[in-house]
Each structure stands twice: as C-alpha cells, then as structure tokens.
Amino acid sequence: MTIIVLGSNSFAGSCFVNYSLNKGKKIIGISRSIEKTKYEIQYKNNKKIKNFKFIKADINKNLSIIKNILEKNKKNIVVDFAGQGMVAQSWDNPEQWFKTNVLSKINLLEHLRKEKLIKKYIKISTPEVYGSHSDKIKETFIFNPSTPYALTHSTIDQFLIMQSKINSFPVSILRFSNFYGEFQPGYRIIPKTILSILKKKKLPLHGDGKSFRSFIYIDDFCSAIYKTINASRTTGQVINISSNEEISIIGLIKIICDKMNYDIRELLEIKKDRAAKDNKYFMSASKAKNLLNWTNKVSLDQGINKTINWFTKIHNSNIKINLEYKHKK
C-alpha cells in the first residue's frame, strides 16, 4: 500500500510523511511548494527517505498532473492536507480560499469518484466549521463558520459527506484541534512565543488572549491519521480529534514564559482583536476513542517542553526562522 499525501510540504503533511516512513510505508508527496531544508521539513531527516517520492504540483494550476499521478497509483490511500490554511488572511482575498479549498478540490474529488481510483480518502479539517461553542463540540453539531477559511472547509466537508452517503465515496473526515511541535512555522502561536522570547522581541497579542483552545502534540496528530488508515469502521465518518486539556491563549503564553524564565509583561504587545474570531471550540474526542482507540499520549506540558528544546537548539544554531506569515497565491 502506498500513501499519497496532498500538501506534503505543509507542517502537518510533512510530519505525517515522516511518521508514515517510520512505519515502513511508501509515500508519494504532492505539494505546490518546493521541498524545504531539513530544519523546516521533518521527513528530510528520515533514514527511510528512499521510500518517499516528491512531485511539485499546484491543485489550481497542475490538476492534470495530480490526476495522472493518482491514475498511475490506483487503489491506494489519499491523505489530504492541501489548501489555503490561514484564518485571518482569508478575509483579504476570500476568492483564493474558495478556488483552492472548494472549486479545485471538487474537480479532483469528482475525478477520483468517477474513476474509482482510491481505497480511502482522508480529509484533514478543522473545528472552526462549528464556530464558537460554550459546550463540548460533538460531530453532530450544526456548522456555524465565522470566517471565509472556515466556510470553505464546511463547504467541502459537506460535499464529501453528501458524496459518501449518495455515491459511497470512501471518505473519512478528521477535525483536529490546534496541533504543534518541532518544525512548526515560526508564525504560529507556540513557536512564535518561544522565538520572540529567545530573540527578545515583542509578541503581538490580538485582543485580551482570553479565547480558549485545545492543543495536541504533532506525534499524537499523526497517530490519529495513521489509525484512521488502518481502522475498518471509519469510512463515511466524521471524527473529532482533540486532547482533554483546554487553555486560554494568554494562559498558554504564560506557561511558555514561566518555563523560559521570561517576564510576560516584557513580551506582550497588545493589538486589536481579529474580525469574527471564535472565542472557544473545545471538541469531544469520545468518538475517536471508540472508533480508533485513540487518545493523546503527550500532555501539553510535555509537548511544550519538547518544542521549547527544539526551537532553542535551532535558534542557538543561528538558523533563520521567519516569525511572519507570507501569503502565497
């Protein structure tokens, strides 16, 4: 069995490639971006890299290439990380998010369905489709997206659910809480906090930092996907993947400051809150436990320690990591 990973050069995609290589799997990675350095992409350091093949292709511009790859590798597993992934920036050019995350994706999915090319399609989604909730979110909750980013995910997710019910398309949708760890881009909240402390730079905090999130360490994230590949009862299912720990953003920053012996008052620069930001989405992972026998193994405290140690090592090696996101159309 070969695993075909769409968006293989994203943080999540590249870490899953690395995880699967360690399991002895053959992987084909497809991404619009070029392969980055061994400090930016985890699988570049893997001793089993010979089992990985990379193809550069953009789902908007090179869809025929992607279709051709899948035609040559029939009846395998597709894990889909591909898409425009930033939330705040989706307000600037929402049409780009819809083109990539919905229109081009539907074009690909219809080809896969009509030609019966795949054994299973695993879509990586987000709890933001549910919007903000005070209750613990279950998979049956009604969609209530509050950003163009979330709306595109809810749209393509609903399309996949429909195709699964009507045309027996072999899809599993996994909705993950925030994931983090080594190799994460420097503009995400955990590495950005760590690197801002190391560089003695101000950390912009939008609003009061009192919105609540849950976080899972990247190895736990990868294990949930891998268990979905091998589980027999996941086709046609939507599954929430989350830890049982919930924390405010300001609380998260404070933990990192305490661990690094840094005064939070010296770190923060308060900014105006982002438009329509969800205050809270904390998902129930009981279905993941029942269907996948999955629970997270790494606590937030353990994962933060691992992440601090890695980014400190990178910083001390004078390896440059950008703290600001640069949008790519």
Kindly state whether residue 23 falls inside one of the protein's structural domains: yes
Range of 170's domain? 2-179+216-241
Per the DSSP assignment, residues forming a β-bridge with 178 are 215
Q: Is the pLDDT of residue 35 over 90?
A: no
**Burial of 187: CB neighbours in 10 Å, binned 0-12, 13-18, 19+:** middle
- The 10s digit of each residue's pLDDT in 260-318 is 999 999 999 887 766 656 677 889 999 999 999 999 999 999 999 999 999 999 999 99
Q: Distance of CA 265 to CAs 11, 222, 257, Å? A: 30, 35, 10
Kindly state whether residue 150 falls inside one of the protein's structural domains: yes
Q: How far apart are CA 250 and CA 127, in angstroms?
A: 20
The CATH number of the domain holding residue 131 is 3.40.50.720
- The 10s digit of each residue's pLDDT in 36-62 is 889 999 999 999 999 999 999 999 999
Give residue 281's pLDDT.
Answer: 80
Give residue 274's pLDDT.
Answer: 66
Q: Is the pLDDT of residue 13 over 60?
A: yes
Kindly state whether residue 59 falls inside one of the protein's structural domains: yes
Kindly state whether residue 99 falls inside one of the protein's structural domains: yes
Average pLDDT of the chain?
A: 94
Selection from 169, 136, 131 nearest residue 150 by Cα: 131
Q: Is the pLDDT of residue 218 over 60?
A: yes
Give residue 232's pLDDT.
Answer: 84
Give residue 273's pLDDT.
Answer: 67
Place of tokens 């045309």: 167
Number of domains the chain is built from: 1
Q: Distance of CA 78 to CAs 8, 180, 319, Å? A: 11, 23, 33
This prediction's pTM = 0.95
Kindly state whether residue 273 falls inside one of the protein's structural domains: no
Kindly state whether residue 100 falls inside one of the protein's structural domains: yes
Kindly state whether residue 47 falls inside one of the protein's structural domains: yes
Per the DSSP assignment, residues forming a β-bridge with 4 are 28, 78
Kindly state whether residue 301 falls inside one of the protein's structural domains: no
Give residue 87's pLDDT.
Answer: 87
Give residue 49's pLDDT.
Answer: 97
